[in-house]
Amino acid sequence: MVIGLTGTNGAGKTTLAEHLKQRGFSFLSLSDEIRRELKREQRPDTRENLIETGNRLRRDFGLAVLAERTAARVLEDRNYVIDSIRHPQEIEALRRLPHFHLLHLDAPIEQRYERARARQDTRTPASFERFAELESKELGGSSPDAQNLEACARLADAKLLNAGTREDFLAQADAQISAWLRGQGRPGWDEYFMRIARIVALRSNCIKRKVAAIIVKDKRIISTGYNGTPRGVVNCNEGGCPRCNGLAVSGQNLDACLCSHGEENAIVQAAYHGIAIKDATLYSTFSPCLQCTKMIINAGIREVVYNAHYPLHGAALGLLQAAGVTLRQVELEKED
């Protein structure tokens, strides 16, 4: 899960982020992308410089640049808290992450100013008037690339008012975040196995197309395979297959290809290790070709689940259906 934090200065974003870090959340901040830019320019990270540089980066590289750079650091198997979200386009970019929720924090401005002063941060303005002036720029600037906290607040999934004790504030936050965590669910079996197949595909040494298949029985993986040259032969990406290394046109000169397919290797590996695959299910990142289809049928595999269509799939899919093999497509992402 990814918890995004937006809100006014001194509303408790840092307090909540530290609280979540102690509970296993990894921390990222969009402001850190600005600080990297200021460090490169050898400029201090004052509040004025952070606002100005953030606006400039959004103007020069797109309104979502800070969020896009931050999202690239997110790993799927961790919980994250992301701070310093200040523009609606940043929210739009972060919503592409799985299980993203935006929490908006606020408190009376007088209370927030006193909290900011108590932090003894050199970036805190010396006067309440200057604090309020800078905040007006953050709430909604006149330029499209300026910070717009008011628009971010309207896009929040939940809002918390941090006007009481620290304990009350964190208790409210815990209740909301716990509800999100309990409701997020987890991948179904098809998505689970297909995503594993995609990871297996990363081991492929074919330079034309990376494909993998896994064979599953009783919800247990019993064999995996990815495409590449046969055992003991120079890898495709090292020059082992002249057709692939010649960047042949897709679908042409297939008889000259030396690479074994992912489905083929999954079946052969099971045979090599003496593993029975009769009545198993095969998950493949692409639908099988005609040659692999014949192997699937003769191996006794009862079901084929694939993610994307192989370019030459018509006859193969028809043969699978004729042989009584169950065929299903599970798309992890819709193709354009």
Q: Which two tokens stand for residue 2?
A: 């990814």
Write out the DSSP string of 33-72: HHHHHHHHHT----HHHHHHHHHHHHHHH-TTHHHHHHHT
219-255 burial by CB neighbour count: b if 16+ within 10 A, else e?
eebbbbbbbbbeeeeeebbeebbebbeeebeeeeeee
**37, 135, 263, 264: the active-site residue:** 263
Q: What is the CA radius of gyration of the chain?
A: 27
Q: Do the bridges between strand 281-286 and strand 212-217 make them parallel or antiparallel, or are there none, so unpaired? A: antiparallel
**263 assigned to active site:** yes
- Mind telling me the catalytic residues? 263
